[in-house]
């Protein structure tokens, strides 16, 4: 199991909750016994696999955001590539699942997971992918990106129904499982729904289905989660489930 992380993610690049100081520190502290690897910044052509030129240029004009965001995309791509040999979790920010091809909002700028999946397909490494999103909020950007794409199916977990992920994964066919891992459904976060152990169960469900259906290929990228007192523990629970 690899944790993809770069020190640039400590940067407070805006005033929104996803960029708040201490957020990444809480995660890194809980994962310090795992092996960390650093990503390279994504290339322009990678980002343009999903986003329009005008979208890209608008984010690029936000210099501080852009400098971090290209590493976030690079982190998702690196995690996706690592997944062919072992599971990976990309502890990255800004998050991405609200970023559509030509629009961004909700603390997201580039759609990290969508770009990573689209790159795998373009390079011929996979034919089909599923994206499981357990963030509190629906990933409208991801859904918009792949709405007419028969090679990628997006699933957003309803409410606190962890078992719905298992039901979804059992009925689909795919070559890799990508996970938008948002932790804001926790009982002590915005959603007030899930226990910490539920995240371990989600990780286990993804792991078991990946091992059964796609040679174990699975990776996850960080989305939401804003209570620093529980965020690191929730991430650790999920990573343990995904790994063991």
Give the Cα separation of 114 and 131 in Å (integer).
9
Give the Cα separation of 78 and 85 in Å (integer).
12
pTM, whole model, 2 decimals? 0.97
Name the DSSP class of 103: B
What would the pLDDT profile of 66-113 be if each residue is shown by its tens digit?
999 999 999 999 999 999 999 999 999 999 999 999 999 999 999 999
How wide is the angle at C-alpha 178 spanned by C-alphas 129 and 17, nearest 5°? 140
pLDDT at 237 over 90: yes
Q: What is the pLDDT of residue 244?
A: 80
Bridging pattern class, strands 88-90 and 129-133: unpaired
Per-residue CA distances from 87 to 79, 90, 98, 118, 240 (Å): 8, 10, 24, 19, 11
Tell me, yes or no, if 103 is annotated catalytic: no
pLDDT at 231 over 90: yes
For the chain, domains (ranges, CATH) are 2-243 (3.40.800.20)
pLDDT at 127 over 90: yes
User: Three-class SS of residue 62?
Assistant: coil
What would the pLDDT profile of 4-55 be if each residue is shown by its tens digit?
999 999 999 999 999 999 999 999 999 999 999 999 999 999 999 999 999 9
The catalytically annotated residue of 55, 97, 98, 137 is 98
Q: What is the pLDDT of residue 39?
A: 98
């Amino acid at each position: 199991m690899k944790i993809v992380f770069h020190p640039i993610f400590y940067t407070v690049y805006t005033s929104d909750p996803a960029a708040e100081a201490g957020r990444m520190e809480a995660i890194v502290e809980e994962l310090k016994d795992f092996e960390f690897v650093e990503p390279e910044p994504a290339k322009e052509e990678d980002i343009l696999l999903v986003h329009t030129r005008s979208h890209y240029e608008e984010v690029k004009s936000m210099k501080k955001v852009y400098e971090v965001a290209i590493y976030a995309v690079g982190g998702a791509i690196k995690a996706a590539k690592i997944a062919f040999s072992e599971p990976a979790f990309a502890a990255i920010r800004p998050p991405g699942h609200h970023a559509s091809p030509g629009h961004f909002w909700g603390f997201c700028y580039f759609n990290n997971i969508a770009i990573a999946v689209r790159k795998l397909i373009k390079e011929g490494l996979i034919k089909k992918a599923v994206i499981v999103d357990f963030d509190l909020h629906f990933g409208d950007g991801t859904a918009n990106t792949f709405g007419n794409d028969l090679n990628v199916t997006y699933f957003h977990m309803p409410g606190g129904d962890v078992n719905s992920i298992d039901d979804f994964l059992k009925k689909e066919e795919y070559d890799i499982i990508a996970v938008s891992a948002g932790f804001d459904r926790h009982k002590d976060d915005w959603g007030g729904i899930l226990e910490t152990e539920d995240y371990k169960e989600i990780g286990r469900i993804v792991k078991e289905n990946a091992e059964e259906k796609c040679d174990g290929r699975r990776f996850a990228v960080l989305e939401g989660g804003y209570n620093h007192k529980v965020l690191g523990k929730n991430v650790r629970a999920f990573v343990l489930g995904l790994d063991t």
